[in-house]
Amino acid sequence: MADRVYLQPTLHELVTVLRAPSAVLGAADGQLRAEGAQGFYRDDRRVLSQLEVDVDGVAPTRVAHRTEEAERARFLCVLRGLGEPSADPKLHLRRERQLTDTELVERFELINSGATPVTANVRITAATDLAAITAVKSGAVPRALTPTVEKSFARWENDGIRVELRFTGDPHQESAVDAAVITWQVLLEPGASWETEVVVTPSEEGADGFLPRRPANPPKLTKIVTTDHRAARLAERGLADLDGLLLADPQQPGAAFLAAGSPWFFTLFGRDSLWAARLLLPNNRDLALGTLWALAARQGRREDPVTEEQPGKILHEVRRGELKLPGLTLPPLYYGSVDSTALWVCLLHDLWRAEQDTERIRPLLPHLLAALEWIAGPGDADGDGFCEYAGSDGAGLANQGWKDSSDGVRWGDGRIASRPLALCEVQGYAHAAALGGAEVLDALGEPGGQRWRDWAAALRERFRAAFWVSDKFGRYPAIALDGQKRAVTGPSSNMGHLLGTGILSSEEAELVAEILVRKDMNSGYGLRTLSADTAGYNPLSYHCGSVWPHDTAIAVFGLLAEGHEERARVLAEGLLAAGEAFDYRLPELYGGDSAADGDPVTAYPAACRPQAWSAAAGVAVAGFLAGQPHPMARPVLA
């Protein structure tokens, strides 16, 4: 018998509410069904997998739903065929979902809009499997647990985790093998309504691992003021979601950062949290400082081949426990990222440049020095002057740049590039980190600045000699050098990350800028990750032709830094068009289909939504279109 194939559940049609570290994903009618990724999650655990309501056995029919705030959603449904006989449904059900710091609150209101009394049985069915987030993502989910049901609550317990569901009124309740069933008999006079409330409270004893909580004093993100209604709505939605993603380091409660995304990445990520904080620098600088400290506290101190820790290295992600997916196992504290360390330095430099306050960043000096030494030392494993990674198959991530899928780095003819890989954008980050680090050292009155300027100048020459290629696609920087030090050809969005880092001459920046807005790269809804003219292009792949909002935003600000404002505006307008199609809640990624050819915006079904760097990209781009200055729009000067 063939092994069963589990498919990752889709997310694109689900409605998400969140207040970190909790999130609820449900259907557009408000139901939480025991299927796919639906459920109430907390600390990488699904604490409720089902919460369904019906009236006399009839499931509500959705009329509308709305998510005004990140932590709240409202659903309006009708009960067809019940109540007064009429072509128009007379029984309406309003449902409100609210997340607090500790609980999920669900409010139900049944309304009789008819002219005759109605007697009905309202039934709520609740269940949980207490599945780990990795089990849900893999598609292999354990069976629901048997609840204990008493007069006013139901309870589930397993492995030190307890979930209590409390309800109001005086219902009849019973326990099935795998669910709690609560039933109310309701009499509704004409025009009357009936309400009940269900409160779900998870708790855990003896929890260990990384369990961040919402900051006691969360950073307030500055709103964007603009007359462009699309930009205004994109920023408003993004700011609400970013507030819902805020967490604080449990070791440093004052160090706030953004969880990478819901539901799979609800934790501290090096690359993701750094880019989100960097994009949001005009909106809040304390978030940048908190992110720097949360990562500095876990900066590498020793050599560990299992976790890929090295002295000075900034982590990839930290979780409460081991991450185990089909074909992939990551330890709770994992350092498999080739770019987080340089990006940490870049954020530190941007923060200093934004506020010119050396005292705020002086305590981070030892971490800055260690990060710079990693970039020029262990980050360059073979000593060729470029930062690279070897990656692994199964024990860790195969690819360790932002395109971290196993097939994310391809040749123009579709072949997957062989590792070790030196990614082009990582060299740009390293160059910017060396120059920015030198500037910070000078500002702090510390020696060593000239060393890093000299190092950056040498990198610039090495990069120009090794990465630039000319072929049928034009002249451009290759996405990477492969394991044989060959330049991997085929235009990709990675080249957009080079803009503004100082590693390109003005003439080279002009060539890159021209390619980024070309039809094969610019979908009209944002920047494609891979040229549509390459053999590996697939508009609905993860990294080989899709559009990632943060990737587009980085290119926008890179273009601005190099003086190409009109081209930056072209890509920014594409993000606005995509935002409108997604009700202004930009997902992690979406399809790279062509607006010019009349294609609609297409969802990538497994994309997280919201995702911190996508929401931050929307806010930052809206700020640019509103005339807001941004540190990333100023080049790092050699």
Identical fold for domains 15-204 and 229-633, yes or no, is no
Cβ atoms of 200 and 98 closer than 8 Å: no
Cβ atoms of 544 and 596 closer than 8 Å: no
DSSP state at residue 438: H
Cα→Cα distances 463→174, 336, 422, 479, 592, Å: 69, 23, 11, 12, 29
Residues in the chain: 638
Angstrom distance (rounded) from CA 27 to CA 34:
11
- The residue extents of the domains of the chain are 15-204, 229-633
- The superfamily in CATH containing domain 15-204 is Glycoside hydrolase, family 65, N-terminal domain (2.70.98.40)
CA 307 to chain centre: 22
Q: Specify the long-range contacts of residues 270-273, CB closer than 8 Å, at least 24 apart.
A: 270/295, 270/314, 270/315, 270/316, 270/317, 270/337, 270/340, 270/341, 270/343, 270/344, 271/316, 271/337, 271/339, 271/340, 271/343, 271/402, 272/611, 272/612, 272/613, 273/612
On whether the 229-633 domain is CATH 1.10.10.10, my answer is no
Mind listing the pLDDT tens digit for each residue in 443-466? 999 999 999 999 999 999 999 999
Q: How confident is the model at residue 403 (pLDDT cuts 50, 70, 90)?
A: very high
Is a pLDDT exceeding 50 seen at residue 1?
A: no
Range 288-313 average pLDDT: 98
Mind listing the pLDDT tens digit for each residue in 14-24? 999 999 999 99
Residue 166: count other Cβ atoms within 10 Å of its Cβ: 14
Strands 193-204 and 252-258: unpaired
203 by Cβ neighbours in 10 Å (0-12 / 13-18 / 19+) ranks as: middle
Mind listing the pLDDT tens digit for each residue in 315-352? 999 999 998 888 889 999 999 999 999 999 999 999 99
Angstrom distance (rounded) from CA 459 to CA 440:
19
Here the tokens at position 239 are: 């700011």
Q: How confident is the model at residue 103 (pLDDT cuts 50, 70, 90)?
A: very high
Q: What is the pLDDT of residue 170?
A: 76
DSSP state at residue 389: B
Please tell me the pTM assigned to this model.
0.97
Angstrom distance (rounded) from CA 304 to CA 324:
19
Angstrom distance (rounded) from CA 392 to CA 183:
53
Cβ atoms of 448 and 371 closer than 8 Å: no
Cα within 13 Å of Cα(106), Cβ side = 26
Strands 268-269 and 333-334: unpaired
